[in-house]
Amino acid sequence: MKTITILLFFIISLLANESKEIDLSKANWEYRYGDSPFENSIPLWTIEKENQNLWEKIEFPRNPPNRNNQTNVWFRVKLPDVLPNDSYLYIVSTDLINQVYYEGKEIYHFGEFDKDGKGEFKGWPFHLISLANDSAGKYLYFRIYSNYTDIGFWGEILISSKIDIFEKLLKNDLPNIIVGSISIFVSILFLLTFLSKIKRLELLILGLLFLTQGLNVFFSSKIIEIYFYFPLFKQYILAIAYFFFPLGMAFFMDKSINYEVPFNLIKRVWQVHFIYLFCAILGTILGLFNLPSTYEYFDIFYNFITLPILTIFMIYFFIIGDKETKIITFSFFIISIYWLYSTLIAAGLVPWEEYPSDVAVFICLLLLSHSMVLKLTYTKELEEAKEELTILSSTDYLTKLNNRKEIDSLLKLNEEIYINCKDDFSVILLDVDDFKMVNDTFGHLVGDDVLINISNILSKFTRKTDSVGRWGGEEFIIICPKTNLEEASKLAENLRDKISKYIFDKVGNKTASFGVVSYKEDDTLTELLSRVDDAMYLAKSKGKNRVETM
């Protein structure tokens, strides 16, 4: 008997809980394009008895048919005959501003209507409207203005008590708040790491990605509006986060995935989105256009150009890439599906629901963080190995530069890095012009002094990441990690200029001839050294004191 009593109580509780919430979106809605005339601040459409046939039925109060550039529409709905105690109407969002009337009196408004029935965009907050105790079974009227592609309501339209609505918001938004907060915290860690000695662009863009997406998830939580009600400011934050996502994704792919892309398409994608982000936000701040209009053009470009391009490359890089590349592309693919799904919901192509945005962002966050930790760990191990090699290796007795043995080891190390990570590296080989004449004229001690001074110039005007060595006699070699042929040529030209302008004791001016090459796919160190040697002798044959590449 006790068990049956408990079961009955449980069933009654369930029924009571079900009756607390009324889905008003399933009610019989009607619409009417245009704007009502007013008399003594009362819209006549809300009290008139005639012209009832002008109201047309609509399944959901959004984007009625045959809009024909109309910017004003009225919706009305008859409330249920029975309402919960302390009834409130909860609306997820409205495009763009609205007023709500009950028995001819305004009971709520968002935004301000001018004398022509128009107004300015003020954001997309949720709306909570208190219903009168005697409003059951009576009509509510909604006056709406929108010069946006959409007009009307978006998302849920519910009637419930205020406390139940807040409980629902908290339940739905708590995961978003947690994930958004974690994302912002992780973004700060990445940005601080970037500002430290590890100056990697991937860390900067990853930090900004986590920051913008964290803010997006955090401020998309409706419960936040109760304590932070600045809907237009919030919408600017959400717009920046929305527009930044493809920019950040393409930039990260461009800098972290070292494969050639036809026409530099990925680079072009993030450049275009950077320009769009800057112009869209600046244009709305200056009042050149309103913020909602920037979404229209962004969605067209992103969904029909950017997303297909990046998806194709993501699949391609996932197939041919190493473990790190697969993690990066897979994580972006997950969050791209989430963004595509949210776009379909916004466009009304799939039914609205509280989709788990926090889950998608959190998975992407974990995968990208894992890939970045692997990269930083690998970089740290690489630096430690390089430092250990430097300590153990001997140096050239005269110039104190790396000797031939050390250079051979560093060349092999850079070759392995290229094979594993596809990081470019280049080699510069230089020979002092007419050095034999120095020894013959001034003696070997003066010749040694020239070599020491040249080695000092090379050490001073190369980068910390470059490795300078004595290749033999009056020949010097420079290994340039993460450097392509064009960058290495500029470095060689600068060194050539510094040497030619230096005044050596007793000797005066001296010059050097430079050869520059970069490691290629399916290259070998033997072929690399042969090419750089040929490039240097080509510089000699063309008159010396010059830089040649191959």
DSSP collapsed to 3 states, 460-477: HHCCCCCEEEEEECCEEE
Alpha-carbon separation of residue 431 from 138, 254, 504, 506 (angstroms): 95, 37, 16, 20
Of 531, 456, 543, 529, give the one whose Cα is nearest residue 498.
456
Please give the backbone phi and psi of residue 113, each rounded to the nearest 5 degrees, phi first: -85, 135
- Residue 527 is among the residues annotated as catalytic for this protein: no
CA dihedral 240, 246, 249, 252 (to 10 degrees): -80
Check 30, 202, 406, 474 and give the catalytic one: 474
Helix (H) or strand (E) holding 264: none
Give bridge partners of residue 427 from the DSSP assignment.
479, 517
Compute the distance between CA of residue 447 and CA of residue 161 in angstroms, rounded to an integer: 93
Compute the distance between CA of residue 392 and CA of residue 413 in angstroms, rounded to an integer: 15
Q: What is the DSSP string of 386-412?
A: HHHHHHHS-B-TTT-SB-HHHHHHHHH
Compute the distance between CA of residue 292 and CA of residue 289 in angstroms, rounded to an integer: 9
- What residue type is assigned to position 1 of the chain? M
Give the DSSP letter of residue 306: I
Kindly state the tokens that stand for 150: 């959409």
End-to-end CA distance of the chain: 94
Give the DSSP letter of residue 116: T
Residues 6+ apart with CB under 8 A from 302: 246, 343
Please give the backbone phi and psi of residue 237, each rounded to the nearest 5 degrees, phi first: -60, -45
The residues annotated with a catalytic role in the active site are 474
